[in-house]
Structure 1
Amino acid sequence: MTPAISDQLGVLAQQREQLDVERRRIQKAYCLAVLDHITAKVRHACPEAAYVGVAYNGTTRDVDLLGVLGEQTSPLSGLPWLWESSDEEHPLAEIAADIEADVQTALKPYDSPAWATIRANRASDGNLWLVELPPVDRAARIAQLVRESHPQATAVVVDGRGVGGRVIEVVEGVDEDGAPIRLRPRWTGECDDVLNRLVAQIFAIPDLADRHLVHAQDRYRHRWWSGTRDLAWVMPLPPAE
């Protein structure tokens, strides 16, 4: 093989790898866009909707729509069924095929971020999986959750490595010298999971990432973790209402 052909092969291999990375990034954004699309349609017909219930076949990877559920009304109660697919009189019955198809599309790639929205309904003996519908405004929901533990929070610092989205610090204004007051998060593990999932979705959707994430300094050093975080981003929180 001549040097010229070898160089061309190397360039094309690099370009192919870059295109594949971009394709996967766009695919992840598309999966979340599909989930947002069907969420809007579901909530238009049923504003209290919080989850889509499906049966999932791990071998064929097929999804069967079972219905739509709401939030728990008390810590001891189960999730209430707002509509079951056998009910053909409910307005959601008109878009049942769309719901099932969109959930199937959102979950088709193995690395789809939509998988992070799914959990098994342990209160059910059957094959019932819950697809959590995303909030209308992810940034507002993040701010709400953060301020439940840090009422004075003005921003969060997130680590963009890997899948993106881990919250590593909370910013509560600035000190007398104008430097950000950075604190260790003090919320529960469950809250941390929800926050990281929502921030990861913001990373995955280009429009939201551009709107809500600001790159931190080039060599951001975390005060509690060893090493540096080259991919640290600051997410200013919307003002409290």
Structure 2
Amino acid sequence: MDDERLRPTQLPLNDLATAYVQAGQTLFLAILDDIAARVRLAHPEAAYLEIGIDADGDVELHGIWSAQESAIGTCRLLYDPHDDPEQEWRDGPLDLDELVDDLGRVLTGSFLHHWGVVEPHPVYEHRDRRWLVLPPADRAATVAAIVRGHVPDAESLICRFAERGERIAVGFEQVTLSGGGTISVPCPLCSPETEDGPWPRDVSHELARILGQLYALPHLRGRHLTPCVDITAEHEGQLWQLVFPYRDHKKGAESS
């Protein structure tokens, strides 16, 4: 037998392994979305879960926290686990046992760590705990708000997605403007020293994390991302366009 010949199942097995990883990403993100929806049903301002993992690998919930109210502000504690039955009403419709079980499911692997939603605890004294970032309720609207914070007349974002093992790499191409113009987003690999981008690099990382999640969830990808014509041959991969929601001009006028 020719030693250079591949086993008939070798390539399909590699494809299956990739599909298995991608399915795991989708499943864990979907469970995280469901967790976030249930937590926000009880605590609408929830942005973070303070969690710990004991010696047996069991997840413990130490608190539900709001987002930081300002650049110099702090998060507010919305829920603190307790044993006082007179305070059970604070939990609202939240089933804590079910929540902890689901957290244990998604934290057993490394998928959420790759998405950057599991962070070290911000307080050093509790460094043995973890800070779980709840995903935005509307990822497309969140991306639009971030981009328009730097490019006010942005109408859409054109980018690429590349599936690399357990990660989805996001490459930005252009921001389209309401007047018909465009702003190119320099590629960090092609122009590593450039500072001409429409937003700082830390913003690119934040956008890439949210967009990668959106792309990994098929129902969100089909709803918000549209394949578009390749406008440049410098990079491989399909281009996708995320069209931003219309602005509420009346609301903006009232608040200004």
Under TM normalisation by the shorter chain, which class is it? 0.7 to 0.9
Q: CA deviation at 1:40?
A: 0.9
Question: What per-residue deviation string (whole Å, max 9, x for no partner) do you get for residues 31-61 of structure 1?
Answer: 011011111111111111111111246x875
SS where residue 154 of structure 2 aligns? coil
Q: CA deviation at 1:75?
A: 2.9
The answer (yes or no) to whether the contact 2:143–2:210 under 8 Å persists in 1 is: yes
Aligned-partner Cα distance in 1 for 2:148–2:2: 62
Letter of the structure 1 residue corresponding to residue 146 of structure 2: L
Question: What per-residue deviation string (whole Å, max 9, x for no partner) do you get for residues 139-184 of structure 1?
Answer: 0111111111111111112231241334343221465xxxx62333
Question: What per-residue deviation string (whole Å, max 9, x for no partner) do you get for residues 180-220 of structure 1?
Answer: 62333422334322211110101110111122222343573
Structure 1 match to 2:253: none
Q: TM-score, structure 2 length as denominator? A: 0.77
Q: How many positions carry a matched residue from both structures?
A: 227
Question: Superposed, which structure 2 residues align to 1:1-241 within 5 Å?
Answer: 1=1, 9-10=7-8, 12-56=9-53, 62-86=58-82, 88=84, 89=87, 90-91=90-91, 95-112=95-112, 115-126=115-126, 127-161=128-162, 162=164, 163-173=168-178, 175=180, 181-184=182-185, 185-218=197-230, 220-221=232-233, 227-241=234-248
Letter of the structure 1 residue corresponding to residue 213 of structure 2: Q
Aligned-partner Cα distance in 2 for 1:215–1:79: 39
Letter of the structure 1 residue corresponding to residue 204 of structure 2: D
Q: TM-score, structure 1 length as denominator? A: 0.81
SS where residue 46 of structure 2 aligns? coil
Aligned-partner Cα distance in 2 for 1:107–1:231: 32
Letter of the structure 1 residue corresponding to residue 80 of structure 2: E
Aligned-partner Cα distance in 1 for 2:83–2:203: 35
Aligned-partner Cα distance in 2 for 1:94–1:111: 25
Aligned-partner Cα distance in 2 for 1:87–1:168: 52
**Unmatched 5+ stretches in structure 2:** 186-196, 249-256
Letter of the structure 1 residue corresponding to residue 215 of structure 2: F
In structure 2, relative to structure 1, the CA distance for the partners of 1:160 and 1:94 (3 Å cut) is closer
Q: After alignment, is 228-237 or 125-134 more displaced? A: 228-237
The answer (yes or no) to whether the contact 2:119–2:131 under 8 Å persists in 1 is: yes
Aligned-partner Cα distance in 2 for 1:138–1:111: 18
CA RMSD between the two structures: 2.7
In structure 2, relative to structure 1, the CA distance for the partners of 1:31 and 1:76 (3 Å cut) is same
**Unmatched 5+ stretches in structure 1:** 222-226
Structure 1 match to 2:252: none
SS where residue 208 of structure 1 aligns? helix
Letter of the structure 2 residue corresponding to residue 195 of structure 1: L
The answer (yes or no) to whether the contact 2:38–2:94 under 8 Å persists in 1 is: no
